[in-house]
């Protein structure tokens, strides 16, 4: 239950540096006072990359302190992992537009939305964060705690998101740090703690590969990228916990006691280090580890094999390199996005998909025209809508084919909204099930109570 997500960050003295005071965390009950939109509650869990204290939104008429209405001009302040803005920032704006006709200027500029915007919109979309408790709280107190609740994503998820959002699919450690804390205010505190965990995750998990810098591009730290076969780590579509841990086949082979299926669909036989491949690049070097170690050796791209250092002029080279990686594993370039679970990274990250989910003012108006209630209530209104219009959501809410709607046009629009709403892995699955009559994946986890621990 999202209500179990502990609200943290009360004590930090620097909040105002991040959030302008005009920011208002109006409860759901109050939203109707704001032209029925309540966008000021948006993005309470997420901020935009590059949205720092120097670019707050205090001037926004909608008090959307996190919603980057100035997407375009704020791009200059984007962090190194700025590829995120592609899917995240623009997505946020798209969400705003979808739910708020007054935000049409955004809408016209932003390509689309994605599910992380829904995450930020959780206060509106879902009761998981304890909406019912909101009203009785002092707005100011509530704002701070609510804003800085720990995101229910694992570090592995965060790293994966960051890497996949990156245009180069590679980030340095520092860029990963930046991406995470730019996006999630929670991670602007206790940096030593979570950054240590990030480093540990990078080293410990096979799904992350280290790509050393080329000699001609000195700098601190290597680049990190995703293992080409790690794309469906979250095949259950849940970013809260992987269904399976990604491991290399070879390592599995060395672990005699382990189940052969451990790597399962997450790895292919030949892809672990690429040495068997006829392609010249790249190979992954094994660093021996004890057999008893649950996590096999760290894999490293040899410097001679990886492309020259990226950013910015060698960007294409790295992309090339990544393509080679992907090709090496006999995978499609969009391997990481090759699945379409409603909670999949597809819905969360793919900017391409976002175009299909774009909903502009016209759509909004159409939604209203068809009597689907207040769009700002998101999932909730969608839930009632399903009964009103006879929508039959069988199993995959993002799949249009599951909707038995009279009007195709309406169906498409509904699909867009539902995708937006359901794209967030934060939506409690049981809640979704009740709203949309969706069968919950068998292993789809709840938000773990471990996230309630002190951060």
- Residue 35, by phi and psi: left (phi above 0), alpha (psi -120 to 50) or beta? left
Q: From CA 269, how far away is CA 229, in angstroms rounded?
A: 10
Q: By the 8 A CB rule, do 413 and 367 touch?
A: yes
- Nearest residue (CB) to DNA, 180 versus 385: 180
| CA-wise closest residue to 237 among 400, 349, 129 | 349
Please, what is the minimum distance in Å from the beta carbon of residue 180 to DNA? 11
Q: How far is the CB of 448 from DNA (least distance, A)?
A: 4
Q: Which is nearer to DNA, 292 or 401 (CB)?
A: 292
237 contacts 340 by C-beta, under 8 angstroms: no
Give me the least distance between CB of 4 and DNA, in Å please.
8
**C-alpha angle 279/283/288, rounded to 5°?**
150
Alpha helices in 7-52 (DSSP H): 15-18, 28-31
Q: Is the dihedral of CA 75, 179, 225, 428 positive or negative?
A: negative
Nearer to DNA, 49 or 80 (CB): 80
Question: Shortest approach of DNA to residue 265 CB, angstroms?
Answer: 12
Of 200 and 355, which has the nearer Cβ to DNA? 200
What angle do helix axes 429-436 and 379-388 make, rounded to 10 degrees?
30
Q: Give me the least distance between CB of 238 and DNA, in Å please.
A: 8
Residue 117 vs 299, nearer CB to DNA? 299
Q: How far is the CB of 6 from DNA (least distance, A)?
A: 10
Cα→Cα distances 76→49, 311, 396, Å: 10, 15, 38
| DSSP letter (8 states) at residue 225 | E
Burial of residue 401, with CB atoms counted within 10 A of its CB: 0-12 exposed, 13-18 middle, 19 or more buried:
exposed
| Distance in Å, CB of 91 to DNA, minimum | 22
Among residues 140 and 291, whose Cβ is nearest to DNA?
291
Query: How distant, in Å, are the alpha carbons of 80, 143, 207, 252, 268 from that of 246?
Result: 27, 38, 6, 10, 11
Q: Which residues contact 297 (CB under 8 A, 6 or more apart)?
A: 251, 286, 287, 288, 289
| Pair 426, 2: CB distance under 8 Å | yes
235 or 360: CB nearest DNA: 235
Q: How far is the CB of 144 from DNA (least distance, A)?
A: 19
Indicate the residue among 243 and 377 with the shorter CB distance to DNA: 243
Tokens of 167: 């245009």
Least Å from the CB of residue 252 to DNA: 10
**Binding residues vs DNA (CB under 7 A):** 153-156, 172-174, 177, 193-194, 196-197, 199-205, 210, 213, 218-222, 224, 241-245, 258-259, 262, 287, 289-290, 293-295, 297-298, 300, 442-446, 448-450, 453, 455
In angstroms, rounded to a whole number, what is the distance separating the alpha carbons of residues 119 and 66? 12
Q: Select 218 or 371, whichever has its Cβ closest to DNA.
A: 218
């Amino acid at each position: 239950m999202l209500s179990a997500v502990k609200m943290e960050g009360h004590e930090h003295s620097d909040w105002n540096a991040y959030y302008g005071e005009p920011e208002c965390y109006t409860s759901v009950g109050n939203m109707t006072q704001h032209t029925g939109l309540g966008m000021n509650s948006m993005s309470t869990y997420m901020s935009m990359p590059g949205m720092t204290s120097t670019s707050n939104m205090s001037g926004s008429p909608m008090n959307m302190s996190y919603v980057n209405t100035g997407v375009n001009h704020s791009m200059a302040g984007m962090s190194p992992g700025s590829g995120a803005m592609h899917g995240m920032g623009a997505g946020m704006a798209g969400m705003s537009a979808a739910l708020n006709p007054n935000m049409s200027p955004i809408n016209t500029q932003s390509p689309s939305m994605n599910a992380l915007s829904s995450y930020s919109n959780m206060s509106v979309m879902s009761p998981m964060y304890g909406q019912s408790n909101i009203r009785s709280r002092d707005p100011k107190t509530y704002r701070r705690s609510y804003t800085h609740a720990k995101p229910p994503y694992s570090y592995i998820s965060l790293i994966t998101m960051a890497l996949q959002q990156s245009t180069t699919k590679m980030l340095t450690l520092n860029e990963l740090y930046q991406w995470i804390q730019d996006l999630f205010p929670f991670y602007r505190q206790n940096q030593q703690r979570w950054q240590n965990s990030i480093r540990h995750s990078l080293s410990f998990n096979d799904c992350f590969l280290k790509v050393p810098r080329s000699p001609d591009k000195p700098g601190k730290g290597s680049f990190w990228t995703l293992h080409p076969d790690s794309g469906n780590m979250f095949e259950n579509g849940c970013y809260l916990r992987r269904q399976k841990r990604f491991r290399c086949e070879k390592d599995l082979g060395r672990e005699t006691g382990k189940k052969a299926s451990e790597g399962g669909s997450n790895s292919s036989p030949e892809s672990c280090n690429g040495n068997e491949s006829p392609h010249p690049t790249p190979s992954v070097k094994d660093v021996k580890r004890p057999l008893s170690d649950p996590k096999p050796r760290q894999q490293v791209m040899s410097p001679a094999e990886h492309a020259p250092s990226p950013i910015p002029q060698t960007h294409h080279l790295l992309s090339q390199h990544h393509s080679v990686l992907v090709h090496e594993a006999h995978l499609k370039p969009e391997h990481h996005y090759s699945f379409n679970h409603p909670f999949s990274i597809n819905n969360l990250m793919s900017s391409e998909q976002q175009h299909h989910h774009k909903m502009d003012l016209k759509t909004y108006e159409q939604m209203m025209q068809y009597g689907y209630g207040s769009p700002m209530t998101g999932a909730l209104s969608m839930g009632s809508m399903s009964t009103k219009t006879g929508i039959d959501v069988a199993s995959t809410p993002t799949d249009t084919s599951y909707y038995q709607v009279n009007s195709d046009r309406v169906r498409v629009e509904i699909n867009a909204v539902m995708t937006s709403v359901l794209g967030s892995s934060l939506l409690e699955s049981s809640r979704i099930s009740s709203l949309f009559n969706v069968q919950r994946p068998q292993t789809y986890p709840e938000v773990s109570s471990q996230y309630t621990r002190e951060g």
